Structure 1
Amino acid sequence: MTISDKQRAICQRFDAGYLPPGMEQMVGIALDTLDKLPLYATRIPPENGTCGWYIYGGDYSSDLGFYQALHAAHLEEVCPGIMPYLALPPGWCVILAPDYEDVWFDEKFSKGPREG
């Protein structure tokens, strides 16, 4: 099964639209936290070359340097577990840990900065 097939299956399972990111688009990712659990991912509307995904492990930090920009193409290398979920559209949130998955829609993340 290709990654695209897995992404379509996830979107179908949660009755969500299918909006895969362009691999040249950027994600916000807290690279220094990826060894911590659980893994959190939230997608907001894409803008300015981003695909809208923000990903971190463990505890969130509001520090300015918490997230780094990374091309979506590199996620398979640095965070392969999130790949099947990347086609979920803005507003979707994911929590992953060993033997644990929580996926839900939160309307507040589905709106752009001037819409909400």
Structure 2
Amino acid sequence: MDGELTVGASLSLIGGAWSWPVHGLRHPPTTHTTGWYLWTGELSDADDFFLPWHLSHVLERLPLLGRVLESPPGSRFVVAPGYEDVWHDPSLSDV
């Protein structure tokens, strides 16, 4: 996956003041985005909860996510050191 593509990431994740686990869900990608949304803590529906962040920066900070971020659209995950749960959610393909 191209590291210049962006993900939607929570400010807590971008700012570095985060803790495990990291959650993710993937919608179909677009021209400039991977379709991934990543967060820690409680998910919010606030308009400014997700900010664009280059995939390369995500992988620099969280190399543990590299493998799960290769999952196809419609995927969800929860990852922490020593724990990984990845599953398919068909509702994510319908955006």
TM over 0.5: yes
Residue in structure 2 matched with residue 76 of structure 1 by the alignment: 59
Whole-angstrom distance in 1 between the partners of 2:7 and 2:24: 10
Alignment deviations for residues 12-64 of structure 1 (CA, whole Å, 9 cap, x no partner)? xxxxxxxxx32111100113146133210111101241110000011111111
**One of 22, 29, 32 as aligned partner of 2:12:** 32
Residue in structure 1 matched with residue 30 of structure 2 by the alignment: 47
How many residues of Structure 1 are paired with residues of Structure 2 in the alignment? 92
Q: Which runs of 5+ in 1 are unaligned?
A: 1-20
> Considering only aligned residues, what root-mean-square deviation do their CA atoms show, in Å?
1.6
* Kept in 2: contact 1:92–1:110 (CA 8 A): no
Larger Rg: 1
* Kept in 1: contact 2:76–2:88 (CA 8 A): yes
Q: Which runs of 5+ in 2 are unaligned?
A: none
**Given residue 26 of structure 1, which amino acid in structure 2 is its aligned partner?**
T
Residue in structure 2 matched with residue 12 of structure 1 by the alignment: none
Percentage identity across aligned positions?
Answer: 35
Residue in structure 2 matched with residue 59 of structure 1 by the alignment: 42
Residue in structure 2 matched with residue 89 of structure 1 by the alignment: 72
